[in-house]
């Protein structure tokens, strides 16, 4: 406590005064915001220099009364320190604001890129689904054409060729056996199997597309 109450040497005060004058001039030229009371108290101690270009004239005599104006060496020293702290705080606030704006711009750019990529994938999946539907339509058409070609109604028409038959002499000389082609798998079963296979292939493709989107 005794060290804090002890007044600093005059050389340190003069050096701090010059540094605070430069900081105050830079703040006054770069910012026109409302200043705190501590800044106003400290500004009353800084003499105006030729390099300082004030953007807004501040009348310290009209703003600060003579009763609260720092007069002693210790008060001037702590006022200079308050001015330096205000300058550092203003710089830090500006830096934090720039960082926040930069992060917001990066997030917006990333969101736009993700949206464009998602639309591209959706268009690709739509084209693939259309292609699969066309292929399934071709497969079903081919199946129906095959069933129609092998249906028994085509062979029921009369032709000039006789139906193949053969006789069995041991039974009777007038008995003949007509040969008919039969199969365990008929046309209806074949068409049903092809349609079920096409539906299963389409379901597998839809499941694969949904799984890839996740």
36 within 8 A of 79, measured Cβ to Cβ: no
The per-residue pLDDT for 40 is: 60
Q: How many whole angstroms separate alpha carbon 105 and alpha carbon 188?
A: 64
- Convert the pLDDT of each residue in 144-191 to its tens digit: 777 777 776 544 554 555 555 555 555 555 555 555 555 556 667 777
Strands, E assignment, the chain: 165-167, 176-178
CB 195 within 8 A of CB 136: no
- Residue 20 burial (CB < 10 Å; 0-12/13-18/19+)? buried
Q: For residue 121, what are its two tokens?
A: 């994938």
Q: Please choose, from the candidates 68, 76, 72, 71, the residue with its C-alpha nearest in 3D space to the C-alpha of residue 13.
A: 76
pTM over 0.75: no
- State the pLDDT at residue 130: 86
pLDDT score recorded for residue 21: 55
How big is the chain by its Cα radius of gyration, in Å? 49
What is the model's pLDDT at position 61?
Answer: 45
In whole angstroms, give the CA distance from residue 27 to residue 19: 12
Asked if residue 202 lies in contact with residue 136, where contact means CB atoms within 8 angstroms, the answer is yes
Spell out the per-residue pLDDT of the chain, length 214, in tens: 444 444 444 454 455 555 555 555 554 454 444 455 555 655 555 444 444 444 454 454 445 555 567 678 888 888 888 889 999 999 999 999 999 999 999 999 999 999 999 999 889 888 888 888 888 888 888 877 777 777 765 445 545 555 555 555 555 555 555 555 555 566 677 777 777 787 888 778 777 777 776 6
Distance in angstroms (rounded) separating the CA atoms of residues 83 and 22? 11
Predicted pLDDT of residue 178: 53
Predicted pLDDT at 117: 92
Provide the pLDDT for residue 33. Answer: 47
């Amino acid at each position: 406590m005794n060290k804090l109450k002890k007044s600093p040497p005059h050389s340190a005060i003069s050096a701090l005064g010059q540094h605070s004058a430069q900081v105050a001039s830079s703040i006054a030229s770069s910012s026109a915001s409302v200043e705190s009371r501590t800044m106003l108290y400290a500004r009353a101690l800084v003499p105006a220099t030729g390099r300082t270009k004030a953007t807004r004239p501040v009348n310290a005599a009209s703003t600060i009364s003579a009763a609260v104006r720092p007069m002693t060496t210790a008060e001037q020293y702590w006022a200079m320190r308050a001015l330096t702290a205000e300058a550092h705080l203003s710089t830090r606030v500006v830096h934090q604001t720039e960082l926040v704006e930069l992060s917001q711009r990066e997030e917006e750019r990333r969101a736009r890129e993700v949206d464009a990529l998602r639309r591209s994938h959706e268009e690709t999946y739509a084209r693939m689904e259309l292609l699969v539907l066309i292929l399934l339509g071709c497969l079903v058409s081919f199946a129906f054409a095959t069933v129609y070609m092998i249906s028994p109604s085509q062979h029921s028409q009369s032709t000039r060729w006789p139906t193949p038959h053969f006789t069995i002499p041991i039974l009777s000389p007038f008995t003949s056996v007509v040969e008919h082609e039969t199969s365990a798998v008929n046309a209806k079963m074949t068409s049903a199997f092809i349609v079920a296979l096409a539906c299963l292939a389409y379901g597998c493709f839809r499941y694969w597309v949904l799984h890839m989107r996740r």
